[in-house]
Amino acid sequence: MLTNFRAISLSYKSANLQIREEIALTDDQSKQFLFTSKDVLGLQELLVLSTCNRTEVYYSANEDLTIEIVKLLCYVKGLQNAEKFIPYFKVINNQDEAVNHLFRVSIGLESQVVGDLQITSQVKQAYQWSADEQLAGPFLHRLLHTTFYTNKKVVQETNFRDGAASVSYATVELIENLCEDKVNPKVLILGLGQIGKDLAENLKGTTFSEIHLANRTTSKAKELAEAYSHQYLPYDEVLSSINKFDVIVSAIQAETPFFILSNFPEKGFLTYKYMIDLAVPRSIDPKLEQLPGVVVYNIDQIQNKANAALELRIKSIPSVEKLIEDSISEFNNWSQETIMSPTINKLKNALEQIRTDELTRYAKQLNEHESKMVDLITKNIMQKVIKLPVLQLKAACKRGEAESLIELLSDLFDLEKDKVSQ
Residues forming the active site: 52
Give the type of residue at 26: T
Q: Where are the alpha helices (DSSP H) in 108-260?
A: 118-132, 138-157, 167-178, 194-203, 218-227
DSSP code at position 25: P
Number of helical H runs and strand E runs in the chain: 14, 10
Is residue 171 within 8 Å of 116, Cβ to Cβ?
no
Q: Which long-range contacts (CB under 8 A, 24 or more apart) does 339-344 make?
A: 339/2, 339/397, 339/402, 339/403, 339/406, 340/393, 340/394, 340/396, 340/397, 340/402, 340/406, 343/393, 343/406, 343/409, 343/410, 343/415, 344/386, 344/389, 344/390, 344/393
Residue 221 neighbours by CB under 8 Å, 6+ apart: 192, 213, 214, 215, 232, 233, 235
- CA Rg value for the chain: 29
Is residue 237 within 8 Å of 262, Cβ to Cβ?
no
Q: In the β-sheet with 54-61, what is the strand arrangement from edge to edge?
A: 46-50, 54-61, 4-11, 90-92
Is residue 192 within 8 Å of 342, Cβ to Cβ?
no
For residue 298, report the phi and psi dihedrals to the nearest 5 degrees: -100, 175
